[in-house]
Chains A and B, each alone.
Chain A
């Protein structure tokens, strides 16, 4: 499988990364090189093989459903590039 420039732009849109026309063109050949490389996986007979979900056999850990570190709004927001009081500020999303 290979991708065209339109697909690169669509994927970039899904990934929320702005790409210029020239970048999309360059990415197209790079992505196709990688997709061509991974193509060899089609040689492998994977019939009846379970996909890996955990590399080391372990039970999913459970913890009590309680607040461990609450009431730390300032710590949560301290690295925000734009803030007001204890809120993140984003461009208007609802008209």
Chain B
């Protein structure tokens, strides 16, 4: 039955409809693949009983001719999403034992669409990290290895469990979130497709908050079409999130296969970084050729404030995180470490509950928001953010339909390879993705080739607000030209 796990979501839809297999058979195939891949550490919690019950309901619906859009599709859910009665701890020790009494809007939408939950996926603690090494539950191992090497590699982060599980066929698709690149960077590191939609496209209700003005949920999937199918179900207008946009959700899948003839694709000169590996340069060149061969016009553009996006992000995101994470106080949920008085209890709880990277960011955030520093740091960063967004507005106003860039500056790196590096070196992973969050735009990472070592590399497309359809349409052209990339199982 293991070949069932090789099917795309589109193929699952067809196969279930034709009766080629049942939803229960499909779910069982995934559950046994998951059991055989625990050394990847992609799942924190597996929910086989729930999965089989949901699959049984899917089989009933299919038999009754009442299949929903995602009927029987087995999904993994990032631990950042609250799922009622199930482990939802943002891979943090501070949320020990927390089981939400409610469901996030995104996962509720998926279950209403007929999807099956396989379990909760590992991630960087509170989505803070680019390698999935900050998880309280230990690092995730990338299913990809360099040619001729057994050395374990990181899957990227923070949605490292999501990306690894999709690449290793431990789920048909996964939910993920992206605050500075946490969907697109792990997708690029694992040869999967990941899209961060426009800010406000998916409800943030029930997703553990990191930086509220930047956080967005999106899918990681094996193909552009699968990502389009998932996003349509995940996205909604939600009264429970006041930043959820009142924009109808289109049928993204219908954009796939549309011609890109005559589209204007911008190539931002500021994304050509010094010391960029030749393989990344080459990939970008090839991307331009593919889009050009499909009839698009390749246009050089400038986004002059690009280099300031990452430093501005490292003020805005920690500032918002320090405020959002104030709620972990040992009183309402999760871990409590006693102290002599209530303040000592807070301090001990938070000292024991948060990992190093999370503490670092809370402290930076607290510092930049503290009396006397607000204007110099936070206010200035928010002004720079206005300029970053204006750069994009100007190129889109000049008729650019989408922007093509590399997704990451390198391929996946070794586990613990950055252990002694300064935090800044790890932050540089997000150099191509973070601008998109700062401007609230949609961005998709599509696998486009392999590095010299045989590791996947991705290209990123950036679109106008709420024009995810354009990204799926153009992303499909890249996928058609580049092909798909699947790791050879060793786990």
Contact = CB atoms under 8 A, between A and B. Distances in A.
Interface of A: 1, 3, 7-8, 11-19, 27, 30-31, 33-35, 37-44, 46, 49-56, 58, 60-61, 63, 75, 78-82, 88, 90-93
18 contacts: A1-B373, A16-B347, A17-B351, A18-B350, A31-B367, A38-B377, A40-B311, A44-B308, A46-B387, A55-B199, A55-B438, A58-B245, A79-B98, A79-B100, A79-B334, A81-B97, A81-B331, A92-B341
Given A11-B363, A79-B333, A18 B98 contact: no
Given A17-B354, A27-B360, A92-B341, A37 B424 contact: yes
Interface in B431-462: 438-440
Contacts of B331: 80-81, 88, 90
Interface of B: 97-101, 198-200, 213-214, 239, 242-243, 245-246, 305, 307-308, 311-312, 314-315, 322, 326, 329-336, 338-348, 350-351, 354, 359-360, 362-364, 366-367, 370, 373, 376-377, 379-387, 389, 422-424, 427, 438-440, 465
B153 to A, nearest CB: 25
Nearest to A24: B363
In the A-B complex, the 8 residue pairs with the smallest Cβ-Cβ separation, listed nearest first, are A55-B440, A51-B382, A79-B333, A81-B336, A18-B351, A18-B347, A46-B383, A38-B311
A11 B333 contact: no
Nearest to B304: A44
B429 to A, nearest CB: 14
Contacts of B348: 18
A92 B345 CA distance: 11
Given A52-B385, A80-B332, A40 B243 contact: no
Contacts of B98: 79
A15 B322 contact: yes
A51 B379 contact: yes
B370 A79 contact: no
A80 B305 contact: no
Nearest to B329: A16
Given A31-B367, A37-B311, A51-B382, 9 more contacts: A18-B350, A38-B311, A41-B384, A51-B379, A52-B213, A52-B386, A53-B382, A56-B245, A58-B243
- Give chain B's interface secondary structure class: helix
Contact of A34 (B308, B343, B364): B364
Given A55-B439, A55-B440, A78 B389 contact: no
A30 B311 CA distance: 15
Nearest to B440: A55
B364 A52 contact: no
A79 B332 contact: yes
A16 B350 contact: yes
A52 to B, nearest CB: 4
B231 to A, nearest CB: 17
Contacts of A58: 200, 243, 245-246
Given A17-B359, A60-B242, A81-B333, A55 B367 contact: no
Contacts of A56: 198-200, 243, 245, 440, 465
A37 B430 CA distance: 14
A41 B367 contact: no
Nearest to A38: B311
Contact of B422 (A33, A61, A88): A33
A91 B341 contact: yes
Nearest to B333: A79
A78 B346 CA distance: 20
Contact of A50 (B198, B326, B333, B386): B386
A90 B342 contact: yes
A27 B363 contact: yes
A91 B387 contact: no
A6 B199 CA distance: 39
A80 to B, nearest CB: 6
B381 A41 contact: yes
B242 A61 contact: yes
Contacts of A31: 360, 363-364, 367
B302 to A, nearest CB: 16
B314 A34 contact: yes
B98 to A, nearest CB: 5
Contact of A51 (B242, B339, B386, B427): B386
B99 A79 contact: yes
Contacts of A82: 336
Nearest to A57: B465
A51 B381 CA distance: 8
Contacts of A12: 363
A27 B345 CA distance: 22
Contact of B387 (A38, A39, A49, A80): A49
A40 B422 contact: no
Contacts of B329: 16
Most buried by A among B332, B339, B389: B332
Nearest to B361: A34
A36 B337 CA distance: 34
